Chains A and B, each alone.
Chain A
Amino acid sequence: MAQTTTSLWPDDLASISVRTPVTILKEQAAALGKMTKNLIEGRVTVTPFGQIIVVYLDLVVPTLKNYTYRLLRVKHGSLLYPVQVAAHSMPELREATDAVTVAVSMMNAREARNEDEFLAVLREILTSEETKKVLAALLAQAES
């Protein structure tokens, strides 16, 4: 006798509105391009490490043969929040490509428990003196 299968999954999946850290970082990347006339571009890449997702925001100078500065990395699990945010890592940790080095590079990360907290942390990092110095240096390099 054939049995009918009943879906036990929530029927309101599509109505859950989620603004992911990736989306937010891509918006900021686009905003940077507009501000600098694309002399400096923000590029966002996503790398999964098992159950962990790491998102990078790089500052790229295309006219400087794609010189790249890794501004920040954001790490989260299957749930989007909380996220850990680390900026201006030491150069040797910026290019981390394995889970252990990524973990080390996140040692001094800040935690944001939700989207609002993430936006606040991001604003602080993007407007920090250190970020301003990096952007000014990259612009000067691009212009020279």
Chain B
Amino acid sequence: MLSFLFWNLNRKALLESVTRMTLRHEIDVLILIESGIEEVRLLEALNAETVEYHCASSAIPGMPSRFQIFTKFPSEFLKPFHDEDRMTIRRLDVPAKDEILLTAIHFPSKLALSDADQAFESTRYAETIAVREREAGHARTVVIGDINMNPFEFGMVGARGFNAVMTRTLAEGRTRRVQGGDYPFFYNPMWGRFGDTTRGPGGSYYYDNSGRHDNHYWNVFDQVLLRPDLLPFFSHNDLDILTHDGEHSLLDGRGRPNAETASDHLPLVFRLSL
């Protein structure tokens, strides 16, 4: 079993919450963005009782990274494969398990890009991932990150974008053909994390823009996408939007992300039974 935790900290130094959740959920790979925590402090906190975690943020010596990555695996098991400002792809190659391509993304926000911009920009990310899959010789790819789009937006569902569909059955079709081109599917389990019928909150990010006609209140910007080859190793019970760090709620009195004491985004935890 491999476990992953992703959280956009909104530049907060949420050292205790992150440490508590990481240890409580026995996380193998922790990915933070917009972190206000000093890496060295988090490494010390994670290893305070038992020395298990390694800092794997920097893919290229000397180069800064917007991703803070901590893992129970030594660096040789999480090798840099592709790095750019808002996307890092690592080869997670743990002994006795099939290699996976772990892709973390912090996609440009709607403050910087229009919906159309985001849709076009997503094609570059999708192409890069596909190129790297061909280079690796497999498509056991996980994408995790703050994609700053909802699962239903063009950039997420477009064939040349992430092409991320809402059911396993659709994803098992592996590819679809559009205008003569074949495009590989991702499965996007986050479709099932909207609204009141989920076991968690209504989404991962709340934005009250109720003065505008176009307003969803709850958004699912924080997402996990899986290629079909990883579906046998994934169960819906192994994916949660967390609302509690084990000691403190991450929500305010109205059940929304508490941006004062925590972050405006909620963390994701998921597992693969590899």
Contact = CB atoms under 8 A, between A and B. Distances in A.
| Chain A bound to chain B | yes
A37 B44 contact: yes
A38 B45 CA distance: 11
B62 A65 contact: yes
A65 B63 contact: yes
A143 B41 CA distance: 8
Contacts of B39: 62-63
Nearest to A144: B40
B259 interface: no
B51 A38 contact: yes
Interface in B1-44: 38-40, 43-44
A39 interface: yes
Given A43-B75, A63-B39, A65-B64, A38 B53 contact: yes
> Which secondary structure dominates chain B's binding surface?
loop
Interface in B39-77: 39-40, 43-44, 47-48, 51, 53-58, 60-64, 74-76
A37 B47 contact: yes
Interface string A70-97: 0000000000000000000000000000
A60 B62 CA distance: 12
Given A43-B75, A62-B54, A62-B55, A37 B43 contact: yes
A142 B40 contact: yes
B58 A65 contact: yes
A131 interface: no
Contacts, number: 51
Nearest to B68: A63
A62 B51 contact: no
Contacts of A63: 38-40, 43, 55, 57
A28 interface: no
Interface in A36-70: 37-39, 41, 43, 60, 62-63, 65-68
A11 B63 CA distance: 52
Interface in B83-113: none
Contact of B57 (A33, A60, A62): A62
Contacts of B60: 66
A47 B57 CA distance: 25
B39 to A, nearest CB: 4
Contact of A67 (B43, B57, B61): B61
Interface in A4-54: 33-34, 37-39, 41, 43
Interface of A: 33-34, 37-39, 41, 43, 60, 62-63, 65-68, 142-143
17 contacts: A33-B54, A38-B43, A38-B55, A39-B44, A41-B54, A41-B74, A43-B75, A60-B75, A62-B39, A62-B43, A62-B54, A62-B75, A63-B39, A63-B43, A66-B61, A67-B62, A143-B40
Interface of B: 38-40, 43-44, 47-48, 51, 53-58, 60-64, 74-76
Q: Which 7 A-B pairs have the closest CB atoms?
A: A62-B55, A37-B47, A66-B61, A63-B39, A63-B40, A65-B58, A66-B58
Given A38-B47, A65-B58, A67-B62, 16 more contacts: A33-B54, A37-B51, A38-B43, A38-B51, A38-B53, A38-B54, A38-B55, A41-B54, A62-B39, A62-B54, A62-B56, A62-B57, A63-B39, A65-B62, A66-B61, A68-B61
